[in-house]
Amino acid sequence: MKKYQSVLIWVFAFLFTAGLAYYQRTTGPTYPVRSHIDIGLTKVSYKLPRSADCGKDMPVKINIADTSVHGSFSYRRYKSNDEWTTVPMLRQGDELVSMIPMQPAAGKVSYKIYLIKDGNQYPLADNHDVVLRFKGSVPLIVLIFHIIAIFGAMLLSTVTCLQTIFKGKYVLRYIWLTVIFFFAGGLILGPIVQKYAFDAYWTGWPFGHDLTDNKTFVGLVFWVIALVVQYRKPGNRSWPVIAGIVFLAVFLIPHSAFGSEIDYTKQAPAEQGK
């Protein structure tokens, strides 16, 4: 392989991985709902949170300077038999504010907001319930190394596939690096992050249905198979590509899908207003 081809592979892999990082950043059930709604001639943009740290109530703020606009905030615990609690939003300067009551780690709260002007109601989020999940705080250093390892694995996986397709010299070396980064990010640092956030190291198969844990396991299995095949059949060009495609497929599953959550239906309903 010529040097310029190797450079192009790394440039493409970096841009591809950056695009996947953006996709992961903007999808999934924990990232804010961002949209806008027109109230008369006023366009109101908003961001509704879907993740919060334990230890305190979570504020929901809508920026709207028009003091003739009021807000109604309704909430109840997700997967519960609770009745909806509805309270008026409080005005603080140019913002309408309500608080989502704190829950333990993995506890979720459904909420919905209506803005009200001249007797007309304007539902946010297309009148859909927004679900927010509480989590424990994860040390920043642990989170940084976890992210670096996971996206490093995606970068190396892409490079390995392209090196295989274009008959590069160091396919085995890249497979090893991919496995090492993936193992460190997914099966060492991933469970540590999970423990801090939800007090459980592993909530995928066979203990639960967390797709993040399950997809990590599946992706790593295919790369380990590619590594074993490469040792037994040096020069094999099928399995590195298969493993890369599988890794990409599982990577496209939104982060935190089917993640940890408390089933409040097994508990007593919350007191009204709590």
**What one-character DSSP code corresponds to residue 233?**
S
Quote the CA–CA distance of 64 and 127 in Å, as a whole number: 19
- 47-57 pLDDT, tens digit per residue, is 999 999 999 99
Quote the CA–CA distance of 170 and 242 in Å, as a whole number: 17
- 245-256 pLDDT, tens digit per residue, is 999 988 887 766
| Torsions phi, psi for 178 (to 5 deg) | -60, -45
Rounded average pLDDT over 191-213: 79
Residues in a beta bridge with 111? 75, 130
| Torsions phi, psi for 182 (to 5 deg) | -65, -45
How, if at all, do strands 130-135 and 51-53 pair?
Answer: parallel
Domains contained in the chain, CATH given: 3-28+138-251 (no CATH), 33-135 (2.60.40.10)
pLDDT exceeds 50 at position 274: no
- 14-29 pLDDT, tens digit per residue, is 999 999 988 888 887 8
Residues 6+ apart with CB under 8 A from 81: 264, 265, 269
Residue that wins the pLDDT comparison between 217 and 268: 217
Question: 148, exposed or middle or buried, with CB in 10 Å at 0-12, 13-18, 19+?
Answer: middle
Q: Which helix (H) or strand (E) holds 95?
A: strand 95-100
pLDDT given for residue 266 in this prediction: 79
- 100-155 pLDDT, tens digit per residue, is 999 999 999 999 999 999 999 999 999 999 999 999 999 999 999 999 999 999 99
